[in-house]
Each structure stands twice: as structure tokens, then as C-alpha cells.
A and B are shown apart, each in its own frame.
Chain A
Amino acid sequence: MIFSFDLLFEAVLFGVLLGCFYAAVSIGLSVSFGLLDVPHVAHPAIMVFGSYCAYIVAGWGLDPILAGLVLMPAFFVLGVLIYRFYYETFERRGSEAGVRGLAFFFGLAFIIEVGLILVFGVDQRTVQAPYIGSSLALGDYRLPYRMLVAFGVALVLTAALTLYFSKTFTGRAIKAVAQDEPALRLMGANPVRIKQWAFGIATGVSALAGAMLIIIGPVEPAMDRVYIGRTFCVVVLAGLGSMTGTLAAGLILGIAESIVLMLFGASWAPAVAFGLLLLVLGIRPQGIFGR
């Protein structure tokens, strides 16, 4: 393997695109786990489920990104239902952070994964779109259009959510729940309704993230496993619940993974996110941008 500045530059460039994509797939978890404190280990599984839904909708002739957008309301409702169920069975009884809440979401992830295997089989699935397969030549560098599309959508998504949480009334209410739930209750607001709204948003965003997942590469049912590492790595590294932090953490992971990919090859890449996650938990568990 020959090391050169050119290769490094290409790896960093690719890493930036990949990193924005990682931020986009993690931002839902940043809301559900970061802000709402729900141990949502099924987040990547729901995202992969979103990929398969986008695959079906795109099969009707729709653009995959558009398919993701169309699916968002349905996923919003799904998220509200999941949170409602979680709240009634665990949070209200005061056992949310313990073994049962985690086991519930882990079981849910398994059911989704195996359900997808039973319906679609273990084969990889892809979608068709004009921007998939070709790439933009930029001097000596070639940037695949599908990565650029994911990059653009990721940026828009992050910007939209950042604005939503800082400018709108509901967005601020969600942040308020995250900061001090009892205080909100004392003010006469209903934290459960705000939280189920927020969880709906987090799940709705997963539909779009799933669409991007199937745009940047083939998708298979067991894919959620490695994304447990990537999404939690980004959210913890960001500092729980920070939207801009999520983007920065995504970039760090993307660049790190891309450089490892270049230096050591594909077999080491999945360990990068998990290694980084352990490192952050061991050294600075509040994350880079955490309080």
C-alpha cells in the first residue's frame, strides 16, 4: 500500500460525504435517546425497515428520496404508537431505564430484522435512480452522485431539525422536556404528549434516513447491527441531544472510517465506529459538545 497526500485527500473528501450521511441516520436517535432518554436500540432496525419500505414505494416508479418523504407521515404515526406503548408499559411504572425497557427495544429490533428476512429473504436489495451509479469527475477525484445526494439531504435534514428545535414553540417544548420534565409538569404542560410528538419526529426522520441508506448502497435485513454502533457512536460523541454536535460527530466518524478503510482495508472498517464509541465512553462520556 502506497501512502500519498492525494489518497489522503480523497479519503477525507469521501469521509466528509459519508460523515454527513452518518449524521443524518443518527439524528433520529439523537432525538429519541439524546433528548427523550429512551434506550432506543431498535432505531437502526426501524431505519432498515424504512429502507425496505422505500424499496417498495420506489418500485412503483417513485424517486427513492421522494419515497422516503412520502413514508415520513406513516413512520411518524408508527413512532407515536411505539412511544405510547413504551410509556404505558414501562415509563409510567418507573422501570424505563432498567433491564426491561432495553430488552423490549432489543426484542423489537430482532423481530423487525427477522420479519424482513422472512418477507424479503437475506439477499441484498437496491433501488434505481438517475443519480445512482454515475459519479461527478472533479479533476482527478471522482465523487459518486449518490453520495452527493445523500450529503445534500443530510445537510438539509440537520439544518431543518436544528431550526425546528431552536425556533418553533413545539421544538423548544421538546428541549424543555429533555431539560426538566417535573418543572414542565408543574407549569401545567403534558410532557407525555410532547414526548410522543418528538418520538414521532425521530421515527419519521428514520424513513428518510432509510431511503438514503438504500441510495448509498445495497441493503440487507441484518444491516441494523453495524448501525447500532455507528448511530450510538455519533449520538454519544455529539453529546446527548445536540443537533449541531450530531453533524460534527458524524463528520468525525465518517472521516475516521474512510481513512481506516484506505489504510487497512474494508475488514477493519466496521470496528471503527465501535472502537470510537468505547473510547468516548471511557474518556469523555458526556461527548464533545456535552455539558
Chain B
Amino acid sequence: MKFWISAAALALFALGLALSPVNEYFFYVSYRVLTFVVLATAWNILGGYAGYVNFGTPAFFGVGAYTAVVLFQWLKAPLAAQIAGGALIGGLLGFGVGMLTLRLRGIFFAIATVAVIFITETLMINWRYVGGATGLQLLRPEVMAPFENYIRMLFVVMAWMGIAAVAVARYVQDSWIGRGLRAVRDSEEAAEASGVPTLKLKLFACTVMGALMGAAGAPMPMYLSFIEPASTFNLDYTIGALGSAIIGGMSHWLGPIIGALLLGTLQQIITVTISGEVNVLVVGVLLVLFVVVAPGGILGLFRKWLPFSR
């Protein structure tokens, strides 16, 4: 109950913020940070709970973005339909990749997800309708009533999506699904032997992850008014999602949020003040550092003072 009240309060706060006269740049940056909250939360459902590493964040994200572009170009579909479409295709992709490789050891799944990035990128590079390698300029439609401009609206959309993603992750974590996934992570043989439907659970987690990532990608073309394969299928999304979850802490839904807010903000600051390369370097170094020194992430460091366990 406490969760839902704070979720509703946050949703209203985001809406209020978007209608207030806060500087435009704030929304521009926050949208990016919030995207990483959704991606990291989605990543953690499979990676954190079940222990299967997904390197393919940009594939799911990109497929969502391109689905939105196709729906927009073809049917002039509204944003909500674009997001639903992105989630659907992202989820299907997650299910497909899962069917193909979740029977195998985790390393094979991880490598397969890298493959999916490059294959989807190559397909988009060679598909003229969505702009091919050079990309496509998109004209934003008129913004809806209470909002002053499109970026403010997208900020609210992404904030709500973040809250929804966290609610899904929280549900998965606290239900029998999460218990099953944790059993898979600790010992897959033991889980299977004691009657946990391991493959079904992994497939479910992979599908939900894909759908959330696809949804997170869908508003991206409208945010940039542009789409192009190289930046859409960029491995920076991989390290952002995986890094946020691991740095924040993978055992609880709060971890990826903390990680993404911290990392996302840090990245924005470094990109502006130093350079984009240094920002990726910092994330890489932090990731290795945390994995080696503090495997429990930030949550693990403060576990003693937190009111909940695991």
C-alpha cells in the first residue's frame, strides 16, 4: 500500500513538474536518465533475479524505437499506440531469443543477445522505408492539451513508464515467479529437480524484459525527431542498463533505480563537462570496480541500515 501511494505521488509530481515553468533543459536530460531507469529495471528482471546476462539491451530498445517509427510513418499512430507496438515487438523478440537460447548455459544466452543487436541493426541499415543507414527525419505531431511542448510530455510519459516498470519488477520479485527465478539463479539443477518450471519462468522473465525495453525505446524517435541505426543500436545502452543494475544492486527492485539515477546523472554531467568517451570509461571502470569490490552493489553496502532484507 505504501508503495502504491508513493508511486501515485511520484506520478503526480512528475506531471506537476512538467506543467511548472522549470527550465527546458531539465526535461531534456531527465528523459534520458528515466530511460535508463526503465532499461535497468527491465534488465534486472532477468539478469538480477535469474542470473542470465543480457547484453542485447540496444536490440530490444532499438526494435521498440523502429516499431514506433513504422507505426508513425505508416498509420500516423499516436504515441500510446507506438509504445504499445514497441512493447509488443520487444516482448516477441525476447520470447524468440529466449526460446532459442535459454535452454543453454548463461554464457550462450549472453552471446546470443550480442548477436541479436548486430542482426537487428543490419536489418534496419538495409531497410529503406525506415531510412536505412543515413536515418530518417521525423516531424513531431502537435502536442496534447495540458503540455507546453513535446519534450515535457515525453518526460511525463517516461516517468510514468518508469513507475510502471518498477511496479512490474516489484510484483515479479515478491510473487512466486521471483522465488522461482531466484532458485534458478542459485542452482538451476536443484530448482528443476524440485519442480520449478525453470524454462517457463526464464522465458516469462525474458519476454517481460524485452517488452519493457521495447516500450522504453518507442518514444525515442519522437524525442530526437530523428532515427538512425548506429546510435539506436549502440552498445552504450548495454553497459548503461547492466551497469546501473549491478552498481545499484541486483537483489532488490530498488537497486536498478538507484544505479540508473546515479549513473545517468553522472553520465550527463561528464558528457557535458568532459566528453562522451570519458563518460563511457567512467561507467566501465565503476562497473568493474563494483563487480570486484562490492558485488552487492550500493544496496549491498548499506544493507545493514535498510529496513528490508534481500
Q: Bound state CA distance, A6 and B250, in angstroms?
A: 56
Q: Do A97 and B107 contact each other (CB < 8 Å), given the known contacts A103-B242, A107-B239, A277-B112?
A: yes
Query: What's the nearest-Cβ distance from chain A to residue B99, in Å?
Result: 9
Q: Bound state CA distance, A282 and B284, in angstroms?
A: 31
- Closest partner residue, chain B, to A269 (CB atom): B122
Report whether B100 and A281 are in contact in the complex, using a CB–CB cutoff of 8 Å: yes
Q: Bound state CA distance, A261 and B125, in angstroms?
A: 15
Query: What's the nearest-Cβ distance from chain B to residue A62, in Å?
Result: 30
Report whether A106 and B55 are in contact in the complex, using a CB–CB cutoff of 8 Å: yes
The interface bits of chain A over 230-256 (1 if a CB of B lies within 8 angstroms of the residue's CB, else 0) are 001000100000000000000000000
Report whether B284 and A114 are in contact in the complex, using a CB–CB cutoff of 8 Å: yes
For B108, give its contact among A106, A108, A226, A236 (CB under 8 Å).
Answer: A236
Q: Do A111 and B288 contact each other (CB < 8 Å), given the known contacts A99-B51, A102-B53, A103-B246?
A: yes
The interface bits of chain A over 91-112 (1 if a CB of B lies within 8 angstroms of the residue's CB, else 0) are 0000101111011101110110
Query: What's the nearest-Cβ distance from chain B to residue A178, in Å?
Result: 15
Q: Bound state CA distance, A232 and B235, in angstroms?
A: 17
Report whether B119 and A271 are in contact in the complex, using a CB–CB cutoff of 8 Å: yes
Residues on A with C-beta less than 8 A from B281 are 110-111, 114-115, 118
- Does B47 have its Cβ within 8 Å of any Cβ on chain A? yes
Residues on A with C-beta less than 8 A from B27 are none
Q: Do A270 and B108 contact each other (CB < 8 Å), given the known contacts A100-B291, A281-B100?
A: no
The interface bits of chain A over 179-220 (1 if a CB of B lies within 8 angstroms of the residue's CB, else 0) are 000000000000000000000000000000000000000000
Query: What's the nearest-Cβ distance from chain A to residue B256, in Å?
Result: 13
Residues on B with C-beta less than 8 A from A225 are 118, 235
Report whether B51 and A274 are in contact in the complex, using a CB–CB cutoff of 8 Å: no
Q: Do A111 and B285 contact each other (CB < 8 Å), given the known contacts A102-B106, A267-B125, A285-B104?
A: yes
Report whether B104 and A117 are in contact in the complex, using a CB–CB cutoff of 8 Å: no
Q: Bound state CA distance, A104 and B291, in angstroms?
A: 6
- Does B277 have its Cβ within 8 Å of any Cβ on chain A? yes
Q: Please, how many residues of chain A have a CB less than 8 angstroms from a CB on the other chain?
A: 38
Q: Do A104 and B250 contact each other (CB < 8 Å), given the known contacts A97-B106, A110-B280, A228-B114?
A: no
- Does B84 have its Cβ within 8 Å of any Cβ on chain A? no
Q: Please, how many residues of chain B have a CB less than 8 angstroms from a CB on the other chain?
A: 45
Q: Bound state CA distance, A110 and B277, in angstroms?
A: 10
The interface bits of chain A over 61-89 (1 if a CB of B lies within 8 angstroms of the residue's CB, else 0) are 00000000000000000000000000001
- Does A133 have its Cβ within 8 Å of any Cβ on chain B? no
Q: Bound state CA distance, A90 and B48, in angstroms?
A: 17
Residues on B with C-beta less than 8 A from A114 are 277-278, 280-281, 284
Report whether B119 and A274 are in contact in the complex, using a CB–CB cutoff of 8 Å: yes
Q: Bound state CA distance, A95 and B106, in angstroms?
A: 12
Residues on A with C-beta less than 8 A from B126 are 267-268
- Does A152 have its Cβ within 8 Å of any Cβ on chain B? no
Residues on B with C-beta less than 8 A from A117 are 277
Report whether A229 and B114 are in contact in the complex, using a CB–CB cutoff of 8 Å: yes
- Closest partner residue, chain B, to A264 (CB atom): B126
Query: What's the nearest-Cβ distance from chain A to residue B161, in Å?
Result: 25
Q: Bound state CA distance, A225 and B122, in angstroms?
A: 14
Report whether A285 and B114 are in contact in the complex, using a CB–CB cutoff of 8 Å: no
Q: Which of A262-291 contact B (CB under 8 A)?
A: 267-268, 270-271, 274-275, 277-278, 281-282, 285
- Does A39 have its Cβ within 8 Å of any Cβ on chain B? yes
Residues on A with C-beta less than 8 A from B12 are none
Query: What's the nearest-Cβ distance from chain A to residue B88, in Å?
Result: 22
For A278, give its contact among B119, B123, B238, B239 (CB under 8 Å).
Answer: B119
Residues on B with C-beta less than 8 A from A285 are 104, 108
Q: Do A277 and B115 contact each other (CB < 8 Å), given the known contacts A39-B110, A110-B284, A271-B122?
A: yes
- Does B287 have its Cβ within 8 Å of any Cβ on chain A? yes
Residues on A with C-beta less than 8 A from B19 are none
Which residue, of B47, B106, B111, has the highest number of chain A Cβ atoms within 10 A?
A: B111
Q: Bound state CA distance, A118 and B105, in angstroms?
A: 35
Q: Which residues of A contact B (CB under 8 A)?
A: 33, 39, 41, 89, 95, 97-100, 102-104, 106-108, 110-111, 114-115, 117-118, 225-226, 228-229, 232, 236, 267-268, 270-271, 274-275, 277-278, 281-282, 285
Q: What would 13 A/B residue contacts be, using CB atoms closer than 8 Å? A: A33-B107, A41-B110, A99-B246, A106-B55, A106-B239, A110-B280, A225-B235, A228-B111, A270-B122, A271-B119, A274-B119, A278-B115, A282-B101
Beyond A103-B287, A232-B114, 19 additional pairs, beta carbon < 8 A: A41-B114, A97-B105, A99-B48, A99-B53, A106-B55, A106-B239, A108-B288, A114-B280, A114-B284, A118-B278, A229-B115, A236-B108, A267-B125, A271-B122, A274-B114, A278-B101, A278-B112, A281-B108, A282-B101
